[in-house]
Chains A and B, each alone.
Chain A
Amino acid sequence: MNRDPSPFRTASTASTATSPTPKYANLTASTNLRYSLTRKSIYDRHLNRTKTSELSKSAFAFLFGEMVQYAQKKVYGVQDLEKKLNLHGYAVGQRFLELLLWRDGRTAKRETRILGILQFISHQLYRAIFQKQADTLEKVRENEDEYMISDNDPVVNTYISVPKEMSQLNCGAFIAGIIEAVLDGHCFPAKVTAHTAPNEMWPGRTVFLIKFEPEVLEREALRVGS
């Protein structure tokens, strides 16, 4: 089989591409991503339409893998890459929080306490994204302003094996970004980072370390006093 396309062949395919039959042109116009066959755009659909729908884990793994590779092209080190993934997650989190609260409707509540917002993240948010709760929620004993949420097997890391020379990296930084956006959205500014913390049962266990800004603790102290 001759793999090299002959000039004649490329010329002939090009000519068919520039002059498509009217039927073919009609088909492409009606079935692009934004408009379905019923001529309704995605903005015409109800927001709750995708509330319970599931998505293929493989498709997500490929998309996320591609995202990691794309982020990797423009960075200088592991920390830079994690920051980039965190930013991607932040954009998702900002939008997702809005959607989540809208879906709660009248029962939606604005969390004002640290414990409340952390429980919101490890229960409601986690369940909405991953259909499970986060595995643990703990306070760091040494530091007043640090909390940990752990996930035994983060969905984003299922198929990812980090090479040895990048052992510091955890692609859970993406989820950390989502958490950070949700905290920011509730006026709890914080830094969230993802760390690998394996145990015998769960080799991919990831801990999200949440470090609140000092003003959050100040406000919390005022609430306790009142």
Chain B
Amino acid sequence: MFLFRLRSSRVFSLAVTMVVYAVLILNKAGGLIYQRDFNPGLQKLSSNDYLILAGTFHGVHAITSQISPTNETSSSGLEVLESENFVMRCFQTLTGTKFLIFAEPRQQNLDVVVRRVYELYADYVMKNPFYQIEMPIRSEGFDRHLTSYIKPHQ
């Protein structure tokens, strides 16, 4: 009984503190194919600036994966970026697509969130016959499922 209560209270606290600001998806060439804000907290940018942001991040990621302080020959590149006001988590798939999640600082379990977004992408974007690979994502099913996954956590 005690164990059960402990577990449920932990899940509850996680759900309450979860604030995801935005999700960005970059294709393997560094182009922005998806950008969506979920909660207020990030500065609004023009669409051109979002493209510049994506391209810049792509470049920085490429550099960080080339230089590594350890003896390893290759590095996974930049994964987490933390600042006073936000934390950014980057997840690169084996095919080179990047998922960026912006959230509140000290947000836990962002790797779980990013994996789930990847799963939704694999389901509702890649299995959609009307989606052209590497092109901007306009999929109603993906939008809907992403909203129902991220929104209730705020």
A: which residues have CB within 8 A of B? 58, 61-62, 64-66, 68-69, 72, 159-164, 166, 171, 203
Contacts and interface: CB of A to CB of B under 8 A. Distances in A.
Contacts of A65: 127-129
6 contacts: A65-B127, A160-B127, A160-B141, A161-B128, A161-B130, A203-B144
Given A159-B141, A161-B142, A203-B144, A62 B130 contact: no
Find the residue from A159, A160, A161 having the highest chain B CB count within 10 A: A161
B123 interface: yes
Contacts of A61: 127
B138 A62 contact: no
Task: Report whether over half of chain A's contact residues are helix, strand or loop; otherwise say mixed.
Answer: helix
Interface of B: 123-124, 127-131, 138-142, 144
A171 B131 CA distance: 15
A58 B128 CA distance: 11
A161 B140 CA distance: 6
B88 to A, nearest CB: 28
A26 to B, nearest CB: 34
A61 B126 CA distance: 10
B34 to A, nearest CB: 13
Contacts of A58: 127
Contacts of A166: 130
A89 to B, nearest CB: 16
A68 B131 CA distance: 12
Contacts of A72: 129
Nearest to A203: B144
A203 B130 CA distance: 18
Contacts of B141: 159-161
A159 B144 contact: no
A163 to B, nearest CB: 5
A22 B141 CA distance: 51
A93 B113 CA distance: 42
Contacts of B131: 161
Find the residue from A66, A159, A203 having the highest chain B CB count within 10 A: A159
A203 B139 CA distance: 14
Contact of B129 (A66, A164, A203): A66
A62 B131 CA distance: 12
A29 B78 CA distance: 48
A163 B130 contact: yes
Find the residue from A61, A66, A160 having the highest chain B CB count within 10 A: A160
Find the residue from B123, B124, B127, B140 having the highest chain A CB count within 10 A: B127
B138 A160 contact: no
